[in-house]
Amino acid sequence: MLVDIDSQSGFCGGVIRAIGRAEDFLGKRDHLYSLGAIVHNEAELDRLGAKGLRPVDSLDAVTEGESVLIRAHGEPPQTYAEARRRGVTVIDCTCPVVLRLQRHIREAYARLHADGRHGTLIIFGKVGHAEVLGLLGQVGGDAKVVENRQMLDDVLSSIDLSEPVEIFSQTTKSPSEYAAVCAAVARRIGGGLTVHDTICSQVANRHERLAAFARSHDVILFVSGRASSNGKVLCDLCRSANPRTYHIGNAAELDPAWFRPDDHVGICGATSTPKWLLEEVAAAVRDL
C-alpha cells in the first residue's frame, strides 16, 4: 500500500502557540494547570500530562500563587476576574483570531443596543463549546447560539425581525454550513442583517483542499480526538468526498479489514491533531 500524510494537517497556529508556552513553563516548573483540555486530543494530553500539565474544570482547583493556562479557545471576562480574586497567575494563550472575534462581538452588541435599539446577536457554533462560552461571556450571555437550521428557525421565530441582526461564526465551523445559515437568515429578515466572516482562514482554506485530498485516495484515515469539534466537521467533510473514511484516535484503532493490498491510503487530521500522531499512524499502516 502507498501511504500519504496530508501536509496541511496538524496543529493550527493557536494550538502550537499554547502548547509551546506550556512546554516552556514546564521546562522550569514541575506542573502547570490548564483551564480545560489544552487540545482535544487524548494522545497529546497524555504526552503533556507526563510533563506536568494538569487540566482542571474550574479555578476552584487552583490555589493562590499557582499559575493557570488559558487555552486557545479563550474564556469569558469573568474567568480573568476570578483568577485575580484568587491570586492566580494567568498565562493567556487565547488564539489571536479568537481574541479579535471577542472584540468584534462586544462592538456588535454595543451597536445593536445603541439609541434604544434591541437588535439580536446570533452566534453560529456548538452549544457549550469553550470558544462559544467565551464569546457569550463578552455580552453577558445576551446572544443566540444556533447549531443547525432547526435551532435557527426557533430563534428567528422568537425575535423582533424589524430590529437589526448581526451574525458571527465560531472560528472552527464549516464555511459551507455557515453560508447556508446566513442565507436562511437573509431570506427571513431582508436588509437588516450584517454577516461577519469570522471562520479562521487556516480552517476555511483547508476544506476545499482536504476534500480534494480525500477524493484522491482510496482510503482516508482521519485522526483526531473524539471531543474535537473541528475534527468532527473535517471528518464529515472527508467522508462526504470519500465513503471509505475512517475516524480513529490512534494507531491501535486500525482494522486491517479496511484495506486492500493496492490501496492508496491518505492520513489527515484536525487542527488539534499532532503531527507525531499522524506519522505514528502512517508507520502502523505500512507495517500491516
Q: What is the DSSP string of 203-244?
A: HHHHHHHHHHHHHTSSEEEEE--TT-HHHHHHHHHHHHH-SS
pLDDT band at 76 (very low <50, low <70, confident <90, very high): very high
pTM here is 0.86
Candidate list 66, 75, 131, 147, residue with the active-site label: 131
Examine the pLDDT at 204 and tell me if it is beyond 90: no
> What confidence tens digit (pLDDT) does each residue in 249-287 have?
999 999 999 999 999 999 999 988 999 999 999 999 999
pLDDT of residue 188: 87
User: Given CA atoms 234, 238, 243, 244 in this order, what sign does their dihedral have?
Assistant: negative
Cα→Cα distances 178→61, 122, 228, 230, Å: 37, 12, 18, 14
Q: Would you give the DSSP letter of residue 88?
A: P
pLDDT of residue 108: 97
Nearest to 68 by CA among 91, 87, 100, 99: 91
Rounded Cα gap, residues 63 and 69, in angstroms: 14
- Which helix (H) or strand (E) segment is 82 a member of? helix 77-86
> What confidence tens digit (pLDDT) does each residue in 95-151 have?
999 999 999 999 999 999 998 889 999 999 999 999 999 999 999 999 999 998 899
Q: Per DSSP, what are the bridge partners of residue 219?
A: 265
State which CATH number among 3.40.50.280, 3.40.1010.20, 3.30.413.10, 3.30.559.10 fits the domain covering 97-195. 3.40.1010.20
What CATH code would you report for 13-94?
Answer: 3.40.50.11270
Q: Where are the domains of the chain?
A: 2-9+201-286, 13-94, 97-195
- Assign a CATH topology to domain 2-9+201-286: Cobalt-precorrin-4 Transmethylase; domain 1 (3.40.1010)
> What confidence tens digit (pLDDT) does each residue in 16-71 have?
999 999 999 999 999 999 999 999 889 999 999 999 999 999 999 999 999 999 99
Rounded Cα gap, residues 121 and 166, in angstroms: 5
User: Given CA atoms 39, 44, 45, 51 in this order, what sign does their dihedral have?
Assistant: negative
pLDDT of residue 81: 97
Examine the pLDDT at 5 and tell me if it is beyond 90: yes
pLDDT of residue 138: 97
Is 2-9+201-286's fold the same as 13-94's?
Answer: no
Rounded Cα gap, residues 99 and 105, in angstroms: 10
- Indicate the average pLDDT of the chain: 94
Amino acid 236 reads D
Q: Catalytic annotation on 131? A: yes
Examine the pLDDT at 206 and tell me if it is beyond 90: no
Query: In the predicted model, what is the mean pLDDT of residues 170-181?
Result: 92
Examine the pLDDT at 190 and tell me if it is beyond 80: no
Rounded Cα gap, residues 63 and 86, in angstroms: 7
Rounded Cα gap, residues 175 and 207, in angstroms: 8
pLDDT of residue 278: 96
> What confidence tens digit (pLDDT) does each residue in 149-172 have?
899 999 999 998 889 999 999 998
Other C-beta atoms lying within 10 Å of the C-beta of residue 72: 28
